[in-house]
Structure 1
Amino acid sequence: MSANIKKILIIGATSGLGEAFARHFHSTGKKVIAAGRRIDRLHALQSELPGLETIQLDVTDFANLESNLTSIITTHPDLDSVFIMSGKQDVTDFKNPASTSSPSIIAEVNTNLVAPLLISRLVVPHLLARPGPATLITVSSGLGFVPVPRWPVYDATKAGIHAFSVALRAQLDGTNVNVVELVPPHVDTPLDALHRKHPGGEVPLPMPLDVYMATAVKGFETEGVKEIATGFSEIGVKAWRGAFGPILEHVGIRG
């Protein structure tokens, strides 16, 4: 599959997995457009990785999202792949309303679920119009398959991304667009670094980023892959596929 990726837009490339994948695809000779909110991080990446293009983009700026993405597509008509990486994870205890707020929950849902849906609506028509293979990569989580109480909002948004990925893949069956769902386990990134210590004890140690990447990038070399998962996440994906795969096939859904 990776051989079909020539020019890729990575949304949420300023840190964590987004930055790691930007570095990976750049190192393999792909044309990479790194997008994210933090202009200082984009400039640092651009200075370090020759040929990398950067675009400042806030995925939750819904008022300007369509015009910003249209501008990117117009500037890069040969764009063949889009990787939606932006994420937000907060500890939320519904027994304690003071642990969160309505704006915080809205921000988490907007970043993790609403933004990917809107981005997909805007980029899928472009990918369908491409003359060759195209790829849309969504990012869920092992927590979307096996929810953990500490992050109920995050769990819900990632379960939503999984459901969306399956449905969109079925809609695009028979077209040139391949929908791939990246399903990371707990990886050592800044996503949850601020709240790994909590009143209930320490969060289990995350998988080192380099170890995760060594496994994840192999998934992109597999033709026909639907979910790329490892460790805890792979257990959840296999269980889901084992239980629901036959049902999807029975009703004729190729998701």
Structure 2
Amino acid sequence: MSANIKKILIIGATSGLGEAFARHFHSTGKKVIAAGRRIERLHALESELPGLETIQLDVTDFANLESKLSSILSTHPDLDSVFIMSGKQDVTDFKNPASTSSPSIISEVNTNLIAPLLISRVVVPHLLALPSPATLITVSSGLAFVPVPKWPVYDATKSGIHAFSVALRSQLAGTNVHVIELAPPHVDTPLDLLHRGDPGKVPNPMPLDEYMATAVKGFETEGVKEIATGFSEIGVKAWRGAFGPILEHLGFRG
């Protein structure tokens, strides 16, 4: 699959998995456009990785998101891959209203679910118009398949991303656009700071280098639908085993 990726836009590339994948694709000779909110992080990446291009982009600035994406596509008409990495994860206890707020919940849903849907609406037609294979990569989580009570809003948004990925893959079946769902387990990234200090309730995170070594192999698998490992792989296999036959029976190719 990675052979089809020549120029990739990674949205949410300023830290964690987004930054790790930006570094990976850059190291393999791909043209990488790294997008994110934090301009200082973008500048640091640009200075460290020659040839990498950066664009400041806030995925929750819905008033300007479509025009910003359209500008990127106009500047890069040969962009063949889009990786939607931006994410937000808050601890929320609905027994304790003080643990969260309406704006916090809205922000988490907007970042994790609404933004990827709006981004896809803009970039999918562009990818379909290309004369060669193209790739859209969404990011769910092992929590999309096995929800953990500590993050109920995050669980719900990532379940939504999984459902969207399956449905979109069915819609695009037979076209040049391949939809890949990245479903990471608990990985040691800045997002993991939210998990610490709660021993016994959350398993130890997978080291980032170990995760990347496994995940990048998934991109070499022809026709891959979900890229998962560890805890996430258990959930994906269980879901595929239970619902894959139903999708096939209905004639869906998700």
Q: Give CA-to-partner distance per residue, 1:116-147, whole Å, 9 cap, x none.
A: 00000000000000010000000000000000
1:221 alignment partner in structure 2: 220
1:194, 1:165 → 2: CA distance? 26
Is residue 63 from structure 1 mapped to residue 63 from structure 2 by the alignment? yes
Q: Give CA-to-partner distance per residue, 1:168-221, whole Å, 9 cap, x none.
A: 0000000000000000000001113144224x8563210000000000000000
Provide the secondary structure at the position in 2 that maps to 1:192. helix
1:38, 1:166 → 2: CA distance? 31
2:226, 2:201 → 1: CA distance? 29
Map 1:1-255 to 2 at 5 A: 1-198=1-198, 203-255=202-254
Aligned residue type for 1:234: E
1:194, 1:156 → 2: CA distance? 17
Aligned residue type for 1:220: F
2:91, 2:42 → 1: CA distance? 28
Unpaired runs of at least 5, structure 2: none
2:31, 2:76 → 1: CA distance? 11
Q: Give CA-to-partner distance per residue, 1:62-86, whole Å, 9 cap, x none.
A: 0000000000000000000000000
Question: What TM-score do the two structures reach when normalised by structure 1?
Answer: 0.98
Provide the secondary structure at the position in 2 that maps to 1:88. coil
Identity, % of aligned pairs? 89
1:187, 1:124 → 2: CA distance? 29
Aligned residue type for 2:210: V
Unpaired runs of at least 5, structure 1: none
Aligned residue type for 1:86: S
Question: What TM-score do the two structures reach when normalised by structure 2?
Answer: 0.99
**Are the counterparts in 2 of residues 85 and 138 from structure 1 also a CA contact under 8 Å?**
yes
1:194, 1:124 → 2: CA distance? 33
1:186, 1:229 → 2: CA distance? 11
